[in-house]
Amino acid sequence: MTRYIIRRLLISIPIFFLVTAVVYALYSLSPGDPVVNIIGYDSYMRMPAEQVQRIRHQYGFDQPVPARYVRWLGKALRGDLGYPYSGSKTVVDNLKERIPPTLLLMGTSLILAMIIGIPMGMYMAMKQYSLGDYLLTIVAFVQLSFPSFFIGLAMIYVFALKLDVLPTYGMQTIGAPFSVLDRIRHLIMPATILGVFSAGVWARYTRASMLEVMRSDHVTVARAKGLSERAVTIRHIFRNAMLPIVTIIALDIPNLLGGAVITEQIFQWPGMGMMTIRATNLRDYPMLMGILLVSAIMILASNLIGDVLYAVVDPRIRYD
């Protein structure tokens, strides 16, 4: 078991370096002088050539790409991600500021999705082929098909603009003191969109998992033993069906930081997603590399945790 974990860890490390190297290579291939992004187009056009050259030297743009990458990597491993092109806070401070709101949003939507989706899936599995199952399948499909930005715009239109019940954007009312109710009011729409509309996915997973368990031998034995249907369902079916769900939760964690980009943009929720879009529009490469670092670590860590959980749950794959 430990050997499995160590092997997965060892594979993750070169993948991590390769990922950062690939993105850094892509960024260096982007056309245009990066100095333009730093000082602005007007200043760039008006500056004499040696001043531009001095700025380039100061930021290290005149060195070859691999040297720049190694320098960035060295600093990053020591925790220094540098400064973004715009703004005065370091990249690390920006990240620290933006990660909690995104976690709040995604965490709430994940909980919502599971609260709605898992019971939905259980109902669909237990009453398979009934009218309820059929209707819920259609509902799950519709949820899969909604473009999230369309629903976001529609909800803003209905609830914020026409009915004036919920705020249009942001995380809290400007200037007002912090209050839980205020935060909840701002959270409802984005969390609902992300959560309710991914409930369908959880419902399908739960339904498939429960159906698989329901057909297995030990459930038949439990029924043959004479256990009441309720005991069979709770003690045998639920418990065994939930195990793969737990591993899916683990594998879903990277979405916690990266999945809400468009919703954050529409609702102007000050989190990682909005920062990504702003950094991309401004071609703010140090910021983008910082975001990439965080997201790559999250993905690799959650894949590792998910794989370990799979191995814990299903001993057969430990000896793979």
Partner 1 sequence: MFTQASGTEQAQPEAGPFRLAIANDANIGSRRVDSPTRRAMRRFARHRLAMFGLIVLCLMALAAIFAPLIAPYTYYEQDLAHARAAPNAAHLLGTDTFGRDVLSRLIYGTRISLSVGLVAVSIYETIAVILGAISGYYGGAADMVIMRIVDVVMTLPWLIVIVFMVSILGPSMFNTMIAIAALGWTGPSRLVRGQILSLRAMDYVMAARSVGAQPTRIIVHHVLPGVVAPLVVHATFGVANAILTEAALSFLGMGILPPTPSWGNMMNAAQELVILQQMPWLWVPPGIAIMLAVLCINFVGDGLRDALDPKGLLTSKA
Query: For binding to partner 1 (CB under 8 A), which residues are involved?
Result: 11, 14-16, 18-19, 22-23, 26-27, 29-31, 138, 141-142, 144-147, 149-150, 153-154, 156-157, 161, 168, 204-205, 208, 258, 261-262, 265-266, 276-277, 280, 283, 288, 291-292, 295-296, 299-300
Smallest gap, in angstroms, from Cβ of residue 27 to partner 1?
A: 6
- Of 34 and 119, the one with the shorter C-beta distance to partner 1 is 34
Smallest gap, in angstroms, from Cβ of residue 180 to partner 1?
A: 28
- Of 134 and 184, the one with the shorter C-beta distance to partner 1 is 134
- Of 63 and 168, the one with the shorter C-beta distance to partner 1 is 168
Smallest gap, in angstroms, from Cβ of residue 12 to partner 1?
A: 8
Smallest gap, in angstroms, from Cβ of residue 54 to partner 1?
A: 26
- Of 76 and 277, the one with the shorter C-beta distance to partner 1 is 277
- Of 66 and 184, the one with the shorter C-beta distance to partner 1 is 66
- Of 53 and 146, the one with the shorter C-beta distance to partner 1 is 146
Smallest gap, in angstroms, from Cβ of residue 148 to partner 1?
A: 8
Smallest gap, in angstroms, from Cβ of residue 109 to partner 1?
A: 17
Concatenated DSSP letters for the chain?
A: -HHHHHHHHHHHHHHHHHHHHHHHHHHHHSSS-HHHHHH-HHHHHHS-HHHHHHHHHHHTTTS-HHHHHHHHHHHHHTT-----SSSSS-HHHHHHHHHHHHHHHHHHHHHHHHHHHHHHHHHHHHTTTSHHHHHHHHHHHHHHH--HHHHHHHHIIIIIIIS--S-SSSSS-TTSPP-HHHHHHHHHHHHHHHHHTTHHHHHHHHHHHHHHHHTSHHHHHHHHHT--HHHIIIIIIIHHHHHHHHHHHHHHTHHHHHTTHHHHHHHT--SHHHHHHHHHHTT-HHHHHHHHHHHHHHHHHHHHHHHHHHHHH-GGGGG-
